[in-house]
Amino acid sequence: DVENGRVKGELPELALLDIRLPGSISGPEVGERLRKTQPLTQMAIVLTTAYRLTVEEEKSVIEQADADRLLYKPLPGFNELKAILEDVIEKRRIHVAQLGRI
């Protein structure tokens, strides 16, 4: 029950979220909740979409989720995607470490 601060096991390092999810919540809204929920605030967030967004729309969804990256579908091949996600995770770790020093 993450929203109540109870988490069992290891925490994920990354959330990969489509911006359009079934139901009443969007990927950016999920990202926004993750950023507000301890201990998930430090998780890397990558948004995905098959829809072409304007520059303003890209900025809006990234800002709402405080996402680390937006990827367009179709996603790259496995090795390229793995490298992208590893880079995002590493940059998030560095960002979190720098915040801890301030």
| Residue 63 belongs to domain with CATH number | 3.40.50.2300
- Average pLDDT of the chain, as a whole number: 91
Q: In what order do the strands lie in the sheet with 69-72?
A: 14-18, 44-49, 69-72
> CA triplet 19, 80, 97: central angle to 5 degrees?
70
What total number of domains does the chain contain? Answer: 1
Q: At 4, is the pLDDT very low, low, confident or very high (cuts 50, 70, 90)? A: low
**Helix/strand/coil percentages in the chain, nearest 5:** 50, 15, 35
**What is the domain range of residue 65?**
2-101
Q: What is the pLDDT of residues 38-60, one digit of tens each?
A: 888 899 999 999 999 999 999 99
> What is the DSSP track for 54-90?
-HHHHHHHHHHHT-SEEEESSPPPHHHHHHHHHHHHH
pLDDT of 3 reads 59
pTM as predicted: 0.87
Hey, what are 1's tokens? 């029950």
